[in-house]
Amino acid sequence: MTLTPPRILLVRHGQSTYNAHGRLQGQTDTPLSDAGRAEAEALRPFLPRCEQVVTSDLQRASETAALLGYPDAHRDPRWREIDLGGWAGRMISEFDDEQQGAWRGGPLHADDGESWAQFVARVGGALDELAAAGGEWLVVCHGGAIRAALTHVTGADPQTVIGPGNTSVTVLRPPFVERYAWTPGL
């Protein structure tokens, strides 16, 4: 039994170079853009200090964690973005509106990519471990991972949930969502 109920703060990484150009990245290991580094530095004073910090092992998330003051955050690949397979690097504009809705949490995915169900199971397992440990956690990850966590905790239809903005903060107290995609007006 945990003494402190879990509180999990999920922070989406700052703008990456692929975000800046409208490219799908998935697990492509792209760096932050200059704007993304500035976003992370601007968010830092608004976050509480956390003793328990985890980040995706992709550089855009781990670099954001470092800029938030956690250069030695534990890297966990389960918090990576969805694996888009051969779609990685494609322009988002190549997909029509219906296709975008179908791959952002729906049945459409690249043959060599990860399905939404596989993604939710991966992220949900990582989230459940943190919740079972209790206490306050800071997780620096990706927009898709945050939406997958939301789906796991609430059962929300991912196709009806808009993706969180760069360096936004989502706060979960499983099984509740305290805040979704909050930004300090950056």
Annotated binding site, which residues? Answer: 12-19, 60
Q: Catalytic residue at 136?
A: no
Expressed in percent and rounded to 5, the helix, strand and coil fractions of the chain are: 40, 20, 40
Q: Among 39, 63, 81, 114, which one carries the catalytic annotation? A: 81
Pairwise CA distance, residues 17 & 34, whole Å: 9
Pairwise CA distance, residues 98 & 130, whole Å: 35
Instruction: Choose among 108, 90, 74, 72: nearest CA to 28.
Output: 90
Pairwise CA distance, residues 144 & 31, whole Å: 17
Q: Catalytic residue at 13?
A: yes
Both structure tokens of 177: 């969502």
Q: Among 13, 109, 142, 152, which one carries the catalytic annotation? A: 13
Pairwise CA distance, residues 7 & 137, whole Å: 6
Q: What is the DSSP letter of 174?
A: T
Q: Residues annotated in the binding site for substrate, as ranges?
A: 12-19, 60
Pairwise CA distance, residues 174 & 72, whole Å: 26
Active site residues: 13, 81
